Amino acid sequence: MKARRDFLRVAGLVGAGVATGCAGVGSGAARHWRGRQIAVMESRAPRFGGRGWGAWQGGKLVAEWRVDDGGAALSVTKVLAVLAATKAASEGWLSADERVAETIDEWRGSGRKGRITVGMLMQQVSGLESGVIPLYRNRPADKGPVAVALRCVDEPGAVFRYGPSHWEVLGEVLRRKLKAEGKGSLAGFMERAVMRPVGLNGEGWRSDRMDVPYLSTGAVLTVRGLGRLGETLARLLRGESRRGLDAKRFAEMARVSAANPMFGGGLWRNGNARRPGAVSIEVEKWIDRPMSQGVWRTACLSGRQPPELVALVGAGGKRVYVWPEERRVFARFGTSTAWRDGAFLDEIGD
Confidence at residue 178, expressed as pLDDT on a 0 to 100 scale: 98
Distance (Å, whole) CA 88 – CA 41: 37
Confidence at residue 118, expressed as pLDDT on a 0 to 100 scale: 98
Angle at which helix 77-90 crosses helix 223-237, to 10 degrees, equals: 40
Q: How many other C-beta atoms lie within 10 A of the C-beta of residue 139? A: 12
Low-confidence ranges of the chain (pLDDT < 70): 1-30
Confidence at residue 291, expressed as pLDDT on a 0 to 100 scale: 86
Confidence at residue 17, expressed as pLDDT on a 0 to 100 scale: 37
- The answer for residues whose C-beta is within 8 angstroms of residue 47's C-beta and 6 or more apart is 338
Distance (Å, whole) CA 218 – CA 103: 23
Confidence at residue 350, expressed as pLDDT on a 0 to 100 scale: 72
Distance (Å, whole) CA 65 – CA 61: 11
Report the run of H or E that residue 57 belongs to, with start and end: strand 50-57
Confidence at residue 116, expressed as pLDDT on a 0 to 100 scale: 98
Torsion of CA 165, 287, 255, 219, to 10 degrees: -60
- The answer for residues whose C-beta is within 8 angstroms of residue 9's C-beta and 6 or more apart is none
Establish how many alpha carbons lie within 13 A of residue 270's alpha carbon, considering only the half-sphere containing its beta carbon.
Answer: 28
Report the run of H or E that residue 65 belongs to, with start and end: strand 60-65
Q: What is the pLDDT of residues 107-147, one digit of tens each?
A: 998 899 999 999 999 999 999 999 999 999 988 999 999 99
Confidence at residue 22, expressed as pLDDT on a 0 to 100 scale: 55
Kindly provide the b/e burial profile for residues 247-258, where b requires at least 16 CB atoms within 10 angstroms of the residue's own CB. Answer: bebbbbbbebbe
Confidence at residue 293, expressed as pLDDT on a 0 to 100 scale: 86
For residue 156, give Cα distances in angstroms to 121, 272, 317: 10, 24, 31
For residue 273, give Cα distances in angstroms to 38, 276, 294: 23, 8, 15
Domains and CATH numbers, the chain: 16-348 (3.40.710.10)
- The answer for residues whose C-beta is within 8 angstroms of residue 76's C-beta and 6 or more apart is 219, 221, 226, 229, 266, 312, 313, 314, 318, 320
Confidence at residue 18, expressed as pLDDT on a 0 to 100 scale: 38
Confidence at residue 29, expressed as pLDDT on a 0 to 100 scale: 40
Torsion of CA 50, 305, 227, 296, to 10 degrees: 80
Q: What is the CA radius of gyration of the chain?
A: 19
Distance (Å, whole) CA 181 – CA 176: 9
Confidence at residue 288, expressed as pLDDT on a 0 to 100 scale: 79
Nearest CA to 320 out of 227, 248, 243, 211 is that of 227
Confidence at residue 285, expressed as pLDDT on a 0 to 100 scale: 85
Confidence at residue 26, expressed as pLDDT on a 0 to 100 scale: 38
